[in-house]
A and B are shown apart, each in its own frame.
Chain A
Amino acid sequence: MVNKFDTELSRHLRAVTAPEALWERIQEGRLPQQPVERARWRLWAFAAALAAMVALCCFSLRSDTTSYVAQLAARDLTAGSEQLDFRSSDAAEIRAWVKANAGLDIPLPAEHSVRLIGVSLIRDGGPVACISYRIGNREGRLVVAQGSSAAPQHRAMSHGVDQGTALTSWVMQGQAYALATAPQDLRAACVLCHAEGRAGRKAAGS
């Protein structure tokens, strides 16, 4: 038999109706996603991860461009290759030829004390121009390829000496440059692109 005390407790502790806002609260806490939504989310996550990976690879490849052209410059200099696609000692001619055949604009000054020999093209993915020059009786190479930075000044410049060859690489105005030369000719070789200075004249005269 149910006593009155129990009845009173049941009355005072009776069940109530849940507020309408409860469902909204639960939705705010996020319901479990449906399998289709989960699959879609996974697809997006995979696509995002793939895009990030591709971007990373591209960035890595671009940042490797300078070291790549440096390797080309060093290899070509070491090989002492005489096979040139275009022979000329005229800076303006070489610049025009490279621009026409490789789409690269190499700002070679019209006159300088470094003696130009000619240019060869390497087609490895994109066109790479390899300009041969001589300072005194020592040869050097300036290798130029498409780079990633549009900065007007040198960027990501690196310098080192490998087996007696000074290697300097940088990125400028969207092109990657590498200079392979004898260590003592390094400063003189700068006049390949820059206005001729005292160092260039002195080195070329030696």
Chain B
Amino acid sequence: MVLEGTGRELIESCQRGERDSFRTLFEAHKDKVYSIALRYSGDEAEAMDIAQETFLKLFSCIRDFRGEASFESWLYRLVVNSCLDRKRRGRRLLPLVDGLLELVRASGEGVLHTLLRAELSERVRAVVGGLPPEQRMVIVLRYTQGLSYEEISDALGCSTGTVASRLNRAHKVLERRLAHLVETRGGRDGQ
């Protein structure tokens, strides 16, 4: 049985329309949903919209959940669909920031170390944000949620082969665009 113990009871009470249970279910999954939405969209306001939409969908159609599949897979599908339904937003990283990164990287360790780390993260996210939606989603599910190929294939409703293919293509793009990260951090082991 996919749903066990309190998880199953919680979902059943949500299916009965008990408001407190909705809150409990929300608390259990909010970070997961919001994180995927944020890493996919790259924008906090957009992520809030996606997360709100996902939970409203979840609560409104939770009666349709029969427990035949994993609840988490079901939830991932909801958030994935909400993300993919959104129009892709433009890249947020400005050329000025790119220039700043080059400067700081050239000077090695500096007083802006903390800022550099933050900007580096922004850079990575911006490059991820530039990926095609399907590749971006695979990357987010893989690295934000740490899902296996099989779990990703469940969430996306595609084969594990497709997941592997998309990940491979995404990796190539990321390695090319984040070459400095690969060089600085020592590259991909085993490749």
Contacts and interface: CB of A to CB of B under 8 A. Distances in A.
Contacts of B23: 23
A13 interface: yes
Interface string B152-191: 0000000000000000000100110000011001111111
Contacts of B44: 19
Interface stretch (A25-33, A150-158, A191-199): A25-33
B105 interface: no
A178 to B, nearest CB: 57
Contacts of A13: 39, 124-125, 128, 139-140, 143-144
A18 B30 contact: yes
Interface stretch (B4-12, B48-56, B64-72, B91-99): B48-56
B188 A31 contact: no
Nearest to A15: B35
Given A5-B182, A9-B174, A15 B60 contact: no
Nearest to B40: A13
A5 B30 contact: no
Contacts of A19: 34, 44, 48
A16 B188 CA distance: 25
A1 B60 contact: no
Interface in B28-84: 30-35, 38-39, 44, 48, 51-52, 55-56, 59-60, 62
B124 A3 contact: no
B48 A4 contact: no
B144 A22 contact: no
Nearest to B34: A18
B178 to A, nearest CB: 8
A173 to B, nearest CB: 55
Nearest to A21: B48
Contacts of A8: 124, 181, 185
Contacts of A123: none
Interface residues of B, number: 47
B17 A33 contact: yes
- Interface bin, chain A: 20 to 34
B88 interface: no
Contacts of A9: 124, 139, 143, 174
B52 A25 contact: yes
Contact of B190 (A1, A21, A26, A34): A1
A31 B59 contact: yes
Contact of A16 (B38, B59, B124, B140): B38
Given A13-B124, A29-B52, A3 B39 contact: no
B105 to A, nearest CB: 14
B19 interface: yes
B148 interface: no
A6 B100 CA distance: 25
Contacts of B3: none
Contacts of B175: 5
A36 B139 CA distance: 43
A15 B26 CA distance: 16
A78 to B, nearest CB: 65
Contacts of A17: 31, 34
Contacts of B52: 22, 25-26, 29
List of 7 A-B pairs having minimum Cβ-Cβ separation, nearest first = A3-B189, A18-B34, A15-B35, A12-B124, A18-B30, A34-B17, A5-B188
Given A9-B143, A18-B35, 12 more contacts: A2-B189, A8-B181, A13-B124, A18-B31, A18-B51, A22-B34, A22-B51, A26-B59, A32-B22, A32-B60, A34-B18, A38-B17
10 contacts: A3-B187, A4-B185, A4-B187, A5-B171, A13-B124, A13-B139, A13-B143, A22-B48, A22-B55, A29-B52
